[in-house]
Amino acid sequence: MQSSYDQQKAYDIICFSHLRWNFVYQRPQHLMSRCAASRRVFYVEEPIWGGEQAFLSISKHENGPYIVVPHVPDENRGDHSEILRELLDGMIADQKLAAYCLWYYTPMAIQWTRHLRANALSVIYDCMDELSAFRGAAPELQRHESELLSAANLVFTGGFSLYESKRHLHRNVYPFPSSVDVSHFSKARISSTDPDDQAVIPKPRIGFCGVIDERMDLDLVRSVAQSRSNWHFIVIGPVVKISESDLPRSSNIHYLGMKKYEELPAYMAGWDAAILPFAKNEATRFISPTKTPEYLAAGKPVVSTSIADVIRPYGTMGLVHIADDAEQFVASLEKAMAEDSVRRQNEVDNFLARECWSRTWGRMSELIEDSMLTVFGARQVPKTAEKPAARAAAVGRSA
């Protein structure tokens, strides 16, 4: 590896994620797509088990990263770390990755990537969720996260609640709550074509879009739907980690399945309101739902349960209605659908103007380059990061 920082500006990114690239389009896809506009990005997914031999499948996503999928035989599950190390080393050699940063979404990947740190320009941990609180989390995840925090040069968090949780565990932690592609979702404000599977559903329509798992308050959805039988509830997204038999069923709840990111504005255009019916549990304690700004950019009034990172800033600014029980939720939906949409949208647009993913990636890039300047000794960057109000210019938000 060369020692001159100026010669390292064309660094590549090796990203390790627990999410499949072609799953729900969210934070990793937004950031890594923007990163890939100026450098190579290798997005390494978790292994697929099966087959007779270990190998990596590498495909170039259109205008985006290289998607890297390890395939490991079932018989090697118990000792797969060595196999994954060898596969990664082969990829680095084949792709001539001389200058790279390591970017982690999953601490579990630290098991087979420790040896890469010696040659990495920087190690970044983008902690988008408290994964250890999710159903089915590996018991060793917290131990691997501690190791990752010790190795990282920078830690980003997916919201302010996570920031408060992690800020004392590392010297350089920065909050980057969910951003939004306003130009994409604002198409919902002018779309006139209702998708076929939604067009047959009567109005008013209340919509949800996202992963349907243990974070959704199914009892709340059931109760709200029962109390307003003339309202129709559109649910878009995959069902994960819970049984479909647990989902509330009635004639006014419509499960339309998973849709492509490109299709979402057309569906949202036909909604009268959007909801975030999250349960209050350990899995939702630190979440910063990407759907909040997306719904708002689409021009929809929004009602959410009292999730900390929705209350601040959206609830306190009056951009989202907050309610927890069914009676409050229904009343909030009625109020939201009756409010002055023009005034609300002006307030929303003023807020979202500084919340786009491109700006978020730009601020992250500056911090990454600062961290590399420290490594190469070009100039000293304070080891104790300014927290976070003094750093508002960098993160673009006040605490």
Residue from 120, 180, 133, 124 nearest 157 by CA = 124
The answer to whether the beta carbons of residues 336 and 304 sit under 8 Å apart is no
pLDDT at 375: 61
Each residue of 213-260: pLDDT tens digit? 999 999 999 999 999 999 999 999 999 999 999 999 999 999 999 999
Q: Which residues of 201-237 are buried (b: 16+ CB within 10 A; e: fewer)?
A: eeeebbbbbbbbbbbbbeebbbbbbeebeebbbbbbb
Q: Which of 344, 256, 337, 341 is nearest to 303 (CA)?
A: 337
Of all residues in the chain, the percent with pLDDT exceeding 90 is: 81
pLDDT in tens, 82-107: 999 999 999 999 999 999 999 999 99
* pLDDT tens per residue across span 4-43: 445 456 899 999 999 999 999 999 999 999 999 999 999 9
The pLDDT of residue 252: 98
What pTM did the predictor assign? Answer: 0.89
* pLDDT at residue 398 is higher than 60: no
Residues 211/140/21/302 CA torsion (nearest 10 deg): 30
pLDDT grade for 210, boundaries at 50, 70 and 90? very high
Q: Tell me: the pLDDT tens digits for 348-373?
A: 999 999 899 999 999 999 999 988 87
Q: Identify residue 120 by its one-letter amino acid code.
A: A
Q: What is the pLDDT of residues 323-333, one digit of tens each?
A: 999 999 999 99
Write out pLDDT tens, residues 300-326. Answer: 999 999 999 999 999 999 999 999 999
pLDDT at position 365, please?
A: 95
- Estimate the crossing angle of helix 326-338 against helix 218-227, to 10 degrees: 60
Separation of alpha carbons 221 and 213, rounded Å: 13
pLDDT tens by residue, 110-138 = 999 999 999 999 999 999 999 998 988 88
